Structures are given as structure tokens and as C-alpha cells.
Amino acid sequence: MFESLQGKLTEAFKILRGKGKITENNIQDAVKQVKLSLLEADVNYKVVKDLTEKISQRAIGEKVIQSISPDQQFIKIVNDELLNLFGDQPSLDLHSRPAIILIAGLQGSGKTTAAAKLALWLKKKNGRTPVLVADDVHRPAAIDQLEALGKNIDVPVFSGDRKDPYKIAKEAVDFSIKKGADVLIIDTAGRLQIDEEMMKEAEAITEIVKPDEILMALDSMAGQDVVNAAVEFDKRLSLTGFILTKLDGDARGGIALSTRYVTGKPIKFSSMGEKLDQFDLFYPDRIVSRILGMGDIVSLVEKVQEDLDSKKMEEMEKRLKKAQFTFDDFLDQLHQIKKMGSLSSILEMIPGAQNMKDLKIDDEQVKHVEAIINSMTRKERSNPEIMNFSRKERIARGSGRPISEVNKLMKNYDEMKKMIKSFNKMDKKGKIGKFPFQMK
């Protein structure tokens, strides 16, 4: 999977190989090649635009690390931004008894196969007792197919009267309760294209059984119009996520990279083969490392950056004593916070910061602040006093945040600087030894 995208991205990384450092000039060629690679892999143009803007902003803003070459540093940036695109490891909501999962999607997308694979996965990996529901009544062969798969994995299949999808869905719930099953997986009908009748049927089944999870099977080898289908299904059914299927084929990557961005809904499972156990949770880091094929380099850069982090903390302490505090420091602090978990939970742990909880700094805001600082040039970060209106305007554009937020950050920065001065004073009196966000 993703071989061709991987090959093209490697070309982009080569552009920076042998260069002394990343500069605003040489980065443009590499970013352009990344853009072309993604477009050729059928990634939605909006996704490509957003992703490459972020990559470019970060690459320009990134500090040079002597022991890492520019291409390695660039690979890490692309890696991180791809990971951001997929978001955190998604979770499943299967707490109700029985929990109900509805599988929807276009015909041939792999619904029936995925339903059986999911049943096996829940049984084997989670100790659940699933029941499969054959609710695709339009093609009798579909019911037979699910029954055969069920037999194969030793999971009961309910097909009721094999005619009325609503009645089957209703009766299936009673059936599973009687059977003592704790999870129900409903396989529904699909069409080759979005079809009003099919949507209405899926909507009505959803109304009847109120599923905990509504997952759409997405053929990762299909063309870009599948992303539009995903948007439509989500509009009508309020999906809770996707199952990416046929990842064992020569998928170009477009579907995988576009759906999360376009719908905002996570990919929860990946299905990669004809065998029923070739199915697992979707792990963003694994898929990104497949797309880049650069796992070793990514871990190398991570390691170097971690080592630098501890050195940086020491340096920071020195700078704080002198009350020098740049946006680079600000960003470092933010990264430390992100590594440690949410800001509010950290504030609770800091002596003397309890009353800061009222500040209600939410993690979303932290992300915005990070986006703004990432859009600053290196010079702006280390000399915040050079900030003027046109710089702020550019930063606002680059980070996708309103200029009022940039102004607010500048104000916060000034306050932070003042606060550090007073912390240093307190330090001398022996009251607070460390800057609030620092933990050792």
C-alpha cells in the first residue's frame, strides 16, 4: 500500500539532502514536491493545501539542530503533520448492553467482510460475545455470504425473515439479549452510488436500533468521489467513524488522508486482506510510517530532540534568571506541557498554581497559541519586539487565527515576562524555585 506516494515523497526529501540547513528558499522546492506527491495520490486538494502550508510554516520556523540533517528534520515535520491530520488514537463506545454497531457504506466497499472481521476481533481481542445481523435484504446472496462468514468464525448470524430490514433489526436486538450476546453488528445494504432509497433505509434502521457506533466502510483503493460519499453518509447518519478497507491493495493514500479532514470523523479500524483476522484498530502512527517509509529517521530525530529538551530546560532556567523570555521559550514550554498531558491537570499539580485553575486555560487554546507561534519566523520569535502590524497580519494568515488572537498572545507574552520577573524575585526569597510549567 501507498508505494507510489512513498516513492514520490522520498523524492521530496532528497531535495534537501546535502543542503547545509533548511532555508526559506530551499524548503519551497521540497514542499512543492510534497504537494505534487499528495495530489497524485488523490488526496483532496483542500487537505493538500492545508497540510503543505502547515509543513512549510513549521519548516521555516524550526530551529536548526546541528546533529540532524535538513532532510531528516523535514521528514520529521511531514511525519508530525500527517499524524496531526489523523488526530489521536480513536476510541470506541461499546458500553451499552448489547452495544450496537451499524456498518454502512457503498456496495463492494467491504461492509460484509468488515462486519465479520469486526465480530472476530471483538471476540478474540476483547472477549465479547457478538451477534451478526444480516440486514442487507436486497441481495439474497449477501445474507448467505454473512451466514457463511459467521459459521467460519463461530459467531451467530441473525437474518429473521430475510425480507424486512426494519423488522430484522428490531428482532435482532431481542435475539441477542436472549442469546446473552453483548454486541450486535448490523450489516446493511449498499448501492454502487449514493441512492436516496438506500440512505432512507439506513436512516430508518438507525432510528429503530439507535446504534452506539455507526461505521462506514471505505474502500481505500476507490477514487476521490468516495470522500464525497463519506460526507453524504455522515450528513445523513451522523457517523461515529470509518473502517478503512482493502489496505492490502495498491491504495494510493488519498482516501486515508482525506476522509478525516473532510468529515472530521476518525478512521477507527483498518482492514487489510481476505483473511478474517486481517483487521485491527487504526493506528495513525503505523499508517504514517507506511506512507513515509521513514520510521528509523523519525525515531532518530525524536531521540535527538528529547536529548535537546533536557538541555533546553537547563538553558531556559538560566535565561529565566536573566528574565529573557522569547517566543521560542514560550513554545518550548507549550511542548513540554503537551507531552505531559493536559494543561488543567498540570496546573493542579503545581504548588501555588491552584488559583490559576480559574484561568480556565483550555487545551484547544494551547493549540491555537502553538499555531500562531509556529507561524512566526525565527527572528520574530527571538526578538518579539520587532513585531508590527504587517508581521502580525502575516502570522494571523499563516496560522489561520484572527489577528485579535495574535494581539492577545503578544499581550500574554508581555504579562508572562513580567510574571517571570516576579517569580525570580520570589525565588530569591526562597518561595518558588521553578518556573510554573517546569517539572523534573
Stretch that binds ligand GDP, among 30-38, 41-49, 271-279, 330-338 (CB under 6 A): 271-279
What's the closest the beta carbon of residue 100 comes to ligand GDP, in angstroms?
Answer: 18
The H or E element that residue 280 is part of is: strand 279-281
Question: Per-residue x/- mask for Mg ion, residues 109 to 138, rule CB under 5 A?
Answer: --xx--------------------------
Q: Of the two residues 279 and 413, which places its CB atom closer to ligand GDP in the complex?
A: 279
Contact yes or no for 119/153 (Cβ under 8 A): yes
C-alpha count within 13 angstroms, C-beta hemisphere, residue 187? 36
3-state DSSP assignment of residue 242? strand
Residues 238-267 that bind ligand GDP (CB under 6 A): 245-246, 248-249
CA angle centred on 166, ends 239 and 266, rounded to 5°: 10
Q: Of the two residues 70 and 254, which places its CB atom closer to ligand GDP in the complex?
A: 254
User: Which partner in ligand GDP, Mg ion, none is near 54 (CB below 5 to 8 A by kind)?
Assistant: none
Edge to edge, the sheet with strand 99-104 lists 157-158, 130-135, 183-188, 99-104, 213-219, 241-245, 267-271, 279-281
Question: Per-residue x/- mask for Mg ion, residues 136 to 155, rule CB under 5 A?
Answer: ------x-------------
- For 303, residues 6+ apart whose C-beta sits below 8 A from its C-beta are none
3-state DSSP assignment of residue 80? helix
Return d(Cα 392, Cα 34) in angstroms, integer. Answer: 27
What's the closest the beta carbon of residue 150 comes to ligand GDP, in angstroms?
Answer: 13
- For 71, residues 6+ apart whose C-beta sits below 8 A from its C-beta are 13, 14, 15, 16, 17, 19
| DSSP structure string for 317-341 | HHHHHTT---HHHHHHHHHHHHHH-
What's the closest the beta carbon of residue 84 comes to ligand GDP, in angstroms?
Answer: 26
Q: Is 188 in the site for ligand GDP (CB under 6 A)?
A: no
What's the closest the beta carbon of residue 180 comes to Mg ion, in angstroms?
Answer: 27
From candidates 155, 243, 272, 420, binder to ligand GDP by CB under 6 A: 272
For CA atoms 224, 42, 264, 134, the dihedral sign is positive
User: Which partner in Mg ion, ligand GDP, none is near 105 (CB below 5 to 8 A by kind)?
Assistant: ligand GDP
Q: Is 271 in the site for ligand GDP (CB under 6 A)?
A: yes
Pair type for strands 279-281 and 267-271: antiparallel
Q: Of the two residues 72 and 259, which places its CB atom closer to ligand GDP in the complex?
A: 259
What's the closest the beta carbon of residue 141 comes to ligand GDP, in angstroms?
Answer: 9
What's the closest the beta carbon of residue 184 comes to ligand GDP, in angstroms?
Answer: 17
Residues 245-304 that bind Mg ion (CB under 5 A): none
Q: Of the two residues 33 and 270, which places its CB atom closer to ligand GDP in the complex?
A: 270
Closest CA to 76 of 298, 331, 408, 391: 298
Tell me how many residues contact Mg ion (CB under 5 A). 3
Q: Of the two residues 142 and 209, which places its CB atom closer to Mg ion in the complex?
A: 142
Which grid cell sits at 170? 428490531
* Site of interaction with ligand GDP (CB under 6 A): 105, 107-113, 190, 217, 245-246, 248-249, 271-274
